[in-house]
Chains A and B, each alone.
Chain A
Amino acid sequence: MGCKRLPQTDKHLIHALIAATGVSSVVTQLYAIRELLSQFSGNEFVISLIIFVWLILGGLGTLTAQTANRFRGVSLTALGWLSLLLACLSPGLILAIRFLRTALFTTGVSVGFYPVLGFICLVVGPLTFLVGFLLPYSLYSLRRKVPGYPGSRVYITDNLGDVSGGALFSFLLILFFTPLQALLLANLPLGLLSLGLIFLSARSNPLLLPAALLLVAGLGLPPLLSVQSLSTGHSGNLIHYQESKYQRIEVFRHKGQVTLFGDGGPMYSSRSSFLAEELVHYPLAQLDEAPQDVLLISARSDMLREIEKYDPDKVTYVELDPALTRVQFQYGLLQEYPGLRIIHQDARRYLSRTKQTFDAVIISFPQPQTFKGNRLFTREFFHMVQKHLSPSGVFSFSVRGYANYLSQSQERIVSCLHRTASQSFSRVLLLPGRRTVFLCRNGPLTANIPQRLRERGIRPPYIQGYFSGTVTQERISRLQERITSSAPVNRDLDPVLMRFVFSQWFAKHASSPLTFFALLGGLGIVYLLLSSREELVLFSTGFLTMGSEILIIFVFQIVFGYVYSMLGLIVTAFLAGLLPGALYGERLQYRGRRMLMATDLGLISCLGLLLLLLSLGWADCSKWIYLGLGFGIALLCGMQFPVALALKGDTDSVASKSFSADLFGAALGALLISVALIPYLGVTLAIMALMGLKIFSISLVGTPALGSNKR
């Protein structure tokens, strides 16, 4: 080798830099997802779009780095500057998302599929591109000094950084820091190492001081702008801000009114008694006697005040997020009640463990927009509620109301839930209003709420005044007429409701994802037709890895009711599996096709195990199973890459194509699993579809032509 050796300190510095890049990229990605979900009231479409764009633009960054290498535009100094740029941009990304959301879109307006896609490309794209660019660029920088420097070391170091980033996010950052503080901490090592590299590569560099200032500004300023960035576009003053384990909580006070925002959307406001009256009195008015124990799952402002009018012995309020209830009481959005018992637990988990029965179970949770919310609107959950009702007990929940016309998309949602509730209750009555309230009981139900309330001597002003003009017999009859008896039943693992909710989301924004998917499908078909069999295998592997990750995230949400605090761990489990997989795969690559088939079978087995857990009802036995499954799947997928590469011949061109195949599969997997396969086929069939993909992959591997030039 004609080149000088790279000093040991420089090498260590560069390796540390690569690891720090891994930490930065994973933490930034997780917080970017979090921020975008909050800014766009994100549903599964938004999550999958973020991952899709991240993968595609990151991949383009990687390909561009190869080109930079070809044109000899590689140096350690440039690596230092680019890494510094990444460190400075990452915290700024969160600010950019917040400020540009306000700058580009009308304040207070929610936006649809294409604007979200455009926003993600525009705002998150440059950073993902840079992240994708930096890893190979680091390798080329090293090779410029030490030709033939093993790429696997860079890959391993990066992966270690990724895993560390995931762990850091899950065990430290999410628990103790706000996003901007967390990003400062996660990017500080990268920034300092970048400065070190700039210094080492040119010790008398006059730009060192500006670089240091840039770092201080890039990392130090964003946390200082935290409150301003959150207040942008809001009337009133931000009086409380908190990142709980489950959501972002902001409280604004404006002209004496307090409004609590959860994940960016208004949840509760003071003086909102109209809705509280509907949600409380419609079910409780059905009871002949005063209720002994009322179960409240999630609670809107003033609900406890309305319940108090019935003087129940006990009110059990179940809310997963302790921070939320604390804030509700702190700012007077809920009032203390002598018999009030607050349970900070997932409602399903609580019901599955308690033997208590209730005279009324009231869900005030809004119409589900995500899989997480859907789990309180399924047959399984309704059945669980029914088991915990006293013989004359009543259950109520509600979905979005309508003013004067029940749209077809809402009609499908209402019909689906009516059919689902009818599986557990002999009577289901629907009352139109601000929300469409479902009253469920194995006994008589009446729509004459004002009359029942008069009999009890309760006079809630809204119902007394407005019921007769809003919930007329004619409107009730028309609503009941729209119920389709053949509507599908919404189930835990077949969340058909989400299909209708997604379609309503598109109807609201007068758009359709078909153009996007048609374009993507067309490109996909062309790509697959032009791909070699090895690339197809890797495509299926990428699809399965990302598809499984998304699947596990969503199944976890469905089973446990939350995912935010576990998101980092799940991602970490996948990242942690890829690294040993790749190392092990390199060692066993001589086994060629047999190795690919064995790993494919292993993947099918992992998915089969998940299927078994779900079908046997053991899905909630332990959270660690999901992490273990994620690790296992990633391990097997990681093993396939070097094997497939070896089969095809490990050249730069092959590596690039293989990488593209893996990446394209991953991007497509993320998208299709979340927005097409789960809502349209259900979780079970989505898992089977992934298994089918791998069976197809085995058939390709089993074909003699594969790798015949090598083995």
Chain B
Amino acid sequence: MKKLISLILAVCMLLSCVAALADVKETVTGAEALTHDELVALAQAETGNFVVYGNTSRIETAVTAFGELYNITVESSNLKDAEIYTKLEAEVNAGSGADMVMIQDGAQLTYAMEDGWLVNYVPASVKEFIGEDDLLPLVHQYINKLFIYNNLGEAVPAVKNVWELTDPAMKGNIIFKNPESEQVNMNFLIMLTGEEWSAKLAEAYKVWADKDIELGEYKNAGYKWIAEFLSNCTFGSSDTTIAEEVSQETAAGKIGLFVLSKLRSSSVLTDNLTVAQYDASANGYTVEPFAGFMYPMYALVSAAANRPYTAMLFIEYLMTAEGFGPWGKSIGAYSSNVQIPAKEGDLGIETWKATLVMEDPEYILDNGDEVRTFVSKYIQ
């Protein structure tokens, strides 16, 4: 009898969760053709606080401005990717939680969407201004992590070929955030082991060393570069800290691979820093074969949303110039809406796509486990 009751309760709970998830998905599907005014009316009719999770700090500014604009009470949490996914899983199971998330790491997102934790919504008002590749899941913006070096002293590490960073003389002079502590950094390394980037690295090696690459025990040039690059790295705790540290007057000879937008911080001595790709563009050369990497930040409705219409309205707002304002006011953030240009003084998104390593979630899912195991040997 007890078992039967437990079973019935479990089935009821499961069904209620499934029903809640189906509700949000249906609501979003049904809202695709809504006009802006209709969406506003439906959002304002919803009750309770509007809760947003994001792994970008500037989401708080955006959601606060949004709340004031539409007279909606908002709450936001700036969390790491993994924390967002952990909370999402629990909240979706409970059938109640955050309404909307801004999140990176496309590989993990693939699973989250397969499991129905997140629902894609493309606002009709901006759809035509977003590239086909950025619609599913909806990319809000791209963020780049670049080779940026201290320009003081005699031995300025003005990198022109990434193999320079594998030189034993560079040991201890490269600062990177531990790839085990931020998945997008790991994704970048995983991408280098693929056919495209390992071939480019092999070519770049030939240019740098003036001979063909000798792989030894490594499977391809990507693995070799990762091993030798990581062996030379020291790991900083955050991109802001890395930016601050590399910019110090006492940090001559240091180079970092970190988020370009961190240069906006008042605590970074920007005069002491040179962005490798900026220098390359200004002086007509290229950093071989890449000047860093770039990854998307996605905007999606949570399947556990209590205010799905508000979530959709917020996504629509984020895709406008006003909603992108908190990011667009500084360099290093690039809207997927082609109507919103990069910040003046920065390079355009097309240039970055051509010079940086981009994520391919499918490749990462297929090869991530093997490369992670490999990487762990070189961060000891």
A, B assembled together: no
Binding site for A on B (CB under 8 A): none
